[in-house]
Amino acid sequence: MKKNKMMLVAVVATVLMSCGGGGGRPTFGDNEYPVDVVATQNASLQSTYPATINGVQDVEIRPKVSGFLTQINVTEGQTVSAGQVLFVIDNETYQAQVRQAQAAVNTAQSAVNTAKLTFDNTKKLHASKVVGDYELQTAENTFLSAQAQLAQAQAALSSAKEALSFCYVKSPAAGVVGTLPLKKGALVSASNVLTHVSDISTMDVYFSMTEKDMLTMSQGEGGLKGAVEKFPPLKLQLADGTMYAYDGHVTSISGVIDRSTGSVQLKAQFPNPEKLLKSGGSGSIVIPSVADSAIVIPQRVVMEVQNKKFVYVLKENNKVAYTEITVDPQNDGMNYIVTSGLKVGDKYVTNGITKLTDQMEIVPITPERYQQKIDEQAKAMSASDIVNAIKK
């Protein structure tokens, strides 16, 4: 018995739900249709734009020298700090070059020391009139040449050390390691991308607006700079449909229009304290706005035919007119903001529109009375009536 009662409740609920929409209508055996009056109200709107997500700093990691990859010190998704060694490239050849350059520096330093002793001694002899000006100038030139050779050797040593340091590939910034396409033992060069390091503490989110929307906004706010400063807080809808917990703000607007799309790119920044957002992800930017004194009607009262929208408007003699309307392209998924076709004071049919035809005469009732009739009919339905209704 209890099970049958539960089934009965479920069936009644299903019948009521089917009667609540704008298209369906219970069978009352009369010609009464609910009619509402057009009024104005403040409406919350939201504009949605596809977006791509990048770390505030997304760096390609490439080697500066060629060689075999001997160490991979990180894993994918690992958090690293600036200066941390990520990879090591075979460096035996570069170490040998450093030792060779160091030996050249030592040799050049010895030559400088010897030339300095000779120059100093020649200066003393020249002061005593033992040697002439020629010998003194020769000794000085030899000393200066030795110093130049030492500087050259030191520069070569610095270059060799720098080349050796390039064998230790370090992270240029703090962030998160991306994929690791190459394995230990691979021969790498500057053409290879070893990985990416993304700073995801703050995320750059890129989206585009049409040229028309951008012009309207910038003219109203005194230029692009004013538009950026007065841009409302943004929300981010993630790929799974959920809304991100933190608001973002527009930081820059491109000054160039994309000729292929006729759109302007904007960049917004969102905080990412929980590291939920990942570089390379996607989502949708949601820009909320408010329309003052707007005509708002439920979407369920609107019929759409060949991309045109229509409502049934009650005219004289209680006849309905199949009336085309235009609506704002942005909506909340439940209501439309009507931009033309309806005016304040007009009356429109709210339920049963699929059973209406143009110039059909009806008996208008209030939406409250309509709901009351639904409730009364539901109470009067017996279990057998419901079963028969389901069979039909």
What is the total residue count of the chain? 392
Q: What are phi and psi of 194, to 5 degrees?
A: -75, -40
Query: What is the CATH number for 311?
Result: 2.40.420.20
In a shared domain, residues 66 and 184: yes
The candidate with the shortest Cα–Cα distance to 266, out of 275, 277, 274, 255, is 255
Is residue 30 assigned to a domain? yes
Predicted confidence at residue 212, as pLDDT, reads: 78
Predicted confidence at residue 135, as pLDDT, reads: 92
Is residue 387 assigned to a domain? yes
**Amino acid in position 233:** P
In a shared domain, residues 233 and 205: yes
* Interacting residues of 343 by C-beta distance below 8 A, sequence separation 6+: 38, 295
Is residue 54 assigned to a domain? no
The candidate with the shortest Cα–Cα distance to 271, out of 171, 208, 199, is 199
H helices of the chain, in order, are 2-20, 92-127, 133-165, 211-220, 224-229, 367-380, 383-391
In a shared domain, residues 33 and 69: no
Predicted confidence at residue 382, as pLDDT, reads: 56
Contact (Cβ atoms closer than 8 angstroms) between residue 12 and residue 375: no
- Rounded CA-CA distance 186/112 in Å is 45
- Rounded CA-CA distance 55/276 in Å is 12
In a shared domain, residues 261 and 328: no
- Rounded CA-CA distance 306/335 in Å is 20
Is residue 56 assigned to a domain? no
| Secondary structure (DSSP) of 240-307 | TSPBPSS-BEEEEE-SS-BTTTTEEEEEEEEE-TT--S-TT-EEEEEEEEEEEEEEEEEGGG-EEETT
Is residue 121 assigned to a domain? yes
Predicted confidence at residue 103, as pLDDT, reads: 97
In a shared domain, residues 112 and 29: no
The candidate with the shortest Cα–Cα distance to 150, out of 112, 97, 102, is 112
In a shared domain, residues 101 and 181: yes
Is residue 31 assigned to a domain? yes
In a shared domain, residues 215 and 280: yes
In a shared domain, residues 255 and 307: no
Residue-number span of the structural domain to which 154 is assigned? 61-188
> Would you give per-residue pLDDT tens digits along the chain (392 residues)?
444 444 444 444 444 444 555 666 666 768 899 999 998 887 777 778 899 999 888 899 999 999 999 999 999 989 999 999 999 999 999 999 999 999 999 999 999 999 999 999 999 998 988 888 999 999 999 999 999 999 999 999 999 999 999 999 999 988 899 999 999 999 999 999 999 998 888 999 999 988 877 776 666 556 667 777 778 889 999 999 999 999 999 988 887 888 888 888 999 999 999 889 988 899 999 887 777 788 999 999 999 998 899 999 999 899 999 999 999 877 777 888 898 999 999 999 999 898 999 999 999 999 999 998 888 887 876 545 655 655 55
Query: What is the CATH number for 239?
Result: 2.40.30.170
Global pTM reads 0.56
Is residue 53 assigned to a domain? no
Is residue 122 assigned to a domain? yes
In a shared domain, residues 183 and 223: no
In a shared domain, residues 211 and 314: no
- Rounded CA-CA distance 283/270 in Å is 13
Total number of domains constituting the chain = 3
- Rounded CA-CA distance 33/42 in Å is 27
Among the candidates 126, 153, 188, a domain finishes at: 188
Residue 68, CA distances (Å) to 89, 94, 189 in order = 6, 13, 9
In a shared domain, residues 71 and 150: yes
In a shared domain, residues 269 and 286: yes
Among the candidates 188, 208, 234, a domain finishes at: 188
Among the candidates 168, 188, 208, a domain finishes at: 188
Contact (Cβ atoms closer than 8 angstroms) between residue 282 and residue 57: no
